[in-house]
Amino acid sequence: MRRELLIALLVLGMVASLDAIESGELSMTIVRAEQKMRDRVVAWVNDTPIYQQDPYFDVAVRSGDKVLEGEYEPSSAWETLPVFWKPGVEVQGRVRGHSLFLKRPNGVEIRFVILKRTAVTAIKKQ
Amino acid sequence: MGYLAKGDKMKAVLKVGGILLLASSLLAQTAAPAKKTARKPVSTSAADIQALKDAVAAQQQQIQTLQQQLQQTNQQLQQSAQQALETQQQLQKAQQAATDAQMTAAGIQASVAPKDAVDKLNAQYADIQTTLTNNAVSAQDEQKRMTGLENTLGRFRWTGDVRVRGEDFFQGYSGCTACADRNRARIRVRFGFEGKLNDDFTAGVALATGSLGDPTTTNETFTNNFDRKTIGLDKGYITYNPVAHKWLSLTGGKFAYQWQRTQITGDPDTNPEGFSERFSKDFTSVPIVKNLNLNLMQLFYNEASGTGGLYHGHDSFAVGGQVGGRLQLTKWWSMTPSFLVMNWRYPDAILNSSFFATQATSTNNINVVDGSGKVISFPVPGEGPGCSTPASSGLQSSQACAFSPNGMTNSTYADAAGHLHFLSGFLYADLILNNTFKTKWSRLPINLLAEYEDNLNAASHPFDYTVKGAVPDPGAVVRTDLGSQSHVYYGDISVGQQKNRGDIQVGYAWLRHEQDATIASFNESDQRAPSNILQHRVYALWRIRQNTTAAFTWWHGRTLDPFLQNAALAPGTSIATNPDGHAILNPGARQSDPWLNRLQFDLIYTF
């Protein structure tokens, strides 16, 4: 029983360590950085939906030979994208699993969920 | 930054040197003609001394200027430090100023300033730098704490709304003595939150007002002597929507509908219980088809224990699937079509529900012994709509009864054991075409919804109003002149939307809902009756503020066929049979149910 428990813990530890593998901080180039709105139904009046528009940040960055596209839902309505994040601007970032961490100019990281990874060559072909 | 440049210092030295040289040359020139110029050496020497005095005075003035400049530098350093305390951005500026000052001090130290002053200045600089560093670290710690707090709070999103409603009912006909207008005010409060447990899981909890025995409404009427209103668990669910597979969404618990639906198959206030699986794929580069999705659902509405009871221990549930999508047919026309099939298994449990389910006032008395030993007997009060006793009677009036908060209008019958049954089975086939047409005014799109629903398990013929009590052979008493009452036809057209402040939306909806097209227990609660109705609805909405909407709805409906079993009839109405064998509604010998008008004025605050 103890052996099984130890093996299970070992496997769990290995899985966890695999998940924790990080890319390290890299220099990335902004391809796109936009604040967008997404409709969410907050109530129905019979069959008529009442919407609320929730903001989210949509970014694409080039890291090496890949373009990573990600989304981030700001925690408050006052949170905005850094104004310096324009196409071509270099930012510091790192990748961990499905998360893309980009550093704001003040050093604070924003965590984007990676939705798409595309090879730069594939984009050029398009 | 005032201090003497190297050139200025050189000039001063040269001046002094020049004066001394001139003085010595003058002395040398006067040495030969000593006799001729014997009286002049006294005056020349005094001039030289004066020149020297002037030079020294000039130097003193320059030293004073230097000291003033040092003081100014010191003040500037202090000001810079103060500014740096206020913002982190000013830190760099202040540091730059301090660096300049240090350079100055070093320069002065190398030239004319006293060493003590420079040491003092350096000490002050060191203090300022320490203070700045401490403040910067403190600011970073504060920022980290704020970010952590934001991240924690950002994982939760509050949801809910408050609706205050004024409502009026009008229904009348010639000779009606029981047709009194009804006016009431109501409130609905719903409150909850959604939280991201992690990247893949979301959980939600919501509370709502409303009777515990009526899942089709969360309204509370302003009545009962200002009593407190009931609040119950409205939603509680966990959704698995993995980041790695965004196309997959699995939900379990008590949740809002995860598939496309309208009031035909369920009231918007109802939150079904069970499980739902959604498989959805977006297409960005494919023409016309922008999304395809498949939804599966397993809903449980009655759990039976043991092997006894109506269904010998079988649970009652609904299973179904819906295929849907989003089509961009033209630049201005998008459509969201869907087709649902849902099978309701063992539905008769709905007609034999417990008093707890309906929140009925029990007819089973509770006996309590008072202080004098006297036994007091009283019924257990319920706070819900109670049993819906269909006109077919012969039903359970205690222990088990029909659950249908807005009236049971389906065909029902009782067997010899007294258990109630639906005449029809329920297998919904529901087609919805939801269209949006853009206009040149972006805030005024045209919305057109068309729906057709057919209950594939409906009985071939309905019962008429004469069927009551136990029916040993339902097939022997059906109305063969009428076909299956299984269809719903529904259309809703509107102009406008409800997204931003100032948005308006005006619309009209038409509905023909036959008796056994759906289970009456879960249908829209505001229409004339759950089924067997013809209903018109006119509505208007105005987004007064970003989170506040004013709405008006006029429901104008009547029973479709008042001569079917369990049809909803106007107050004071009864059915009789003419000598020629035709049924009539009395008083007035009418053939149709009078229209019921229901006006609703809503103010809705959402968050």
Give a yes or no: residue B600 inside a domain: yes
B600 CB neighbours in chain A (<8 A) are none
pTM: 0.73
Residue B24 has what pLDDT? 46
Contact residues of A toward B, CB < 8 A: 39, 42-53, 73-76, 79, 98-99, 106-108, 113-115
A19/chain B closest Cα distance in angstroms: 13
Averaged pLDDT score across all residues of chain B: 83
Q: What's the pLDDT band for B70 if we cut at 50, 70, 90?
A: confident
Instruction: Assess if residue A60 is contained within a domain.
Output: yes
pLDDT at B30: 41
Whether residue B273 is contained in a domain is answered as yes
- Residue A6 domain-assigned (yes or no): no
Mean pLDDT over A38-58 rounds to: 92
Say yes or no for a CB contact (<8 Å) between B553 and A46.
yes
Whether B549 sits inside 8 A of A47 (CB atoms) is no
For residue B131, the model assigns a pLDDT of: 77
Q: What is the pLDDT of residues A49-71, one digit of tens each?
A: 999 988 999 999 999 889 999 99
Contact check, Cβ <8 Å, A42/B607: yes
**Domain match, B561 and B449 both:** yes
Query: Rounded mean pLDDT of B100-124?
Result: 64
Could you tell me if the ipTM is greater than 0.95? Answer: no
Residue B262 maps to a domain: no
Asked whether residue B77 falls in the same domain as residue B224, the answer is no
- Please enumerate, as own/partner, the contacts of B272-277 that have beta carbons within 8 Å and a separation of 24 or more: B272/B297, B272/B299, B273/B299, B273/B300, B273/B301, B274/B298, B274/B299, B274/B300, B274/B317, B274/B318, B275/B250, B275/B251, B276/B250, B276/B251, B276/B252, B277/B248, B277/B249, B277/B250, B277/B251
Q: Is residue B260 part of a domain?
A: no
Written in H, E and C, the secondary structure of A72-92 is: ECCCCCCCCCCCCCCCCCEEE
Q: Residue B300's closest CA among B275, B277, B320, B322?
A: B275
Contact assessment for residue B439 and residue B487, using Cβ atoms and an 8 Å cutoff: no
Nearest to B63 by CA among B110, B111, B102, B101: B111
B310-359 pLDDT, tens per residue?
777 889 999 999 999 999 999 999 999 999 999 999 999 998 887 777 77
Statement: residue B469 has pLDDT above 80 = no
Count of domains forming chain A: 1
Residues B221 and B113 in one domain: no
In a domain, B599, yes or no: yes
Residues of B whose CB is below 8 A from A108: 143, 147
Judged by CB atoms closer than 8 Å, whether chains meet at B539 and A48 is answered as yes
Q: Which amino acid is at B124?
A: Q
On whether residue B404 sits in a domain, the answer given is: yes
**Closest-CA distance of chain A to residue B460, Å:** 30
The answer to whether A50 contacts B606, with C-beta atoms less than 8 Å apart, is yes
Which stretches of chain A are DSSP H helices? 2-19, 120-125
- Beta-carbon separation of A48 and B499 below 8 A: no
Check whether B525 has a pLDDT greater than 80: yes
Model confidence pLDDT, tens digit, residues B379-388: 566 767 777 7
Structural domain range at position B85: 6-33+41-151
Give the Cα separation of A112 and A61 in Å (integer): 11
Q: Please say if the pLDDT value at position B33 is more than 50.
A: no
Please give the residue of chain A at the shortest CA–CA distance from B548: A50
- Chain A: residue whose CA lies nearest to B247: A115
Write the CATH number for B466.
2.40.160
Q: How confident is the model at residue B147 (pLDDT cuts 50, 70, 90)?
A: low
- Does B400 or B307 have the greater pLDDT score? B307
A15 lies in some domain: no
Give yes or no: residues B412 and B431 share one domain: yes
Q: How far is A1 from chain B (nearest CA, A)?
A: 32
Report how many domains make up chain B. 2
Q: How is B56-86 classified by DSSP, letter by letter?
A: HHHHHHHHHHHHHHHHHHHHHHHHHHHHHHH
pLDDT digits (tens, 9 = 90+) for A22-32: 667 889 999 99
Q: What integer pLDDT is reported at residue B361 of this predicted model?
A: 66
Q: Which residues span the domain enclosing A88?
A: 22-125
For the stretch B398-438, pLDDT in tens is 456 788 889 899 999 888 877 889 999 999 999 999 999 99
The CA distance from B393 to the nearest CA of chain A, in Å, is 32
**Does A9 reside within a domain?**
no
Is B91 in the same domain as B236? no
Q: Which of B82-96, B147-161, B234-248, B503-517 has the highest mean pLDDT?
A: B503-517
Instruction: Say if B533 falls within a structural domain.
Output: yes
| Nearest-neighbour CA in chain A from B200: distance (Å) | 11
Say yes or no for a CB contact (<8 Å) between A45 and B154.
Answer: no
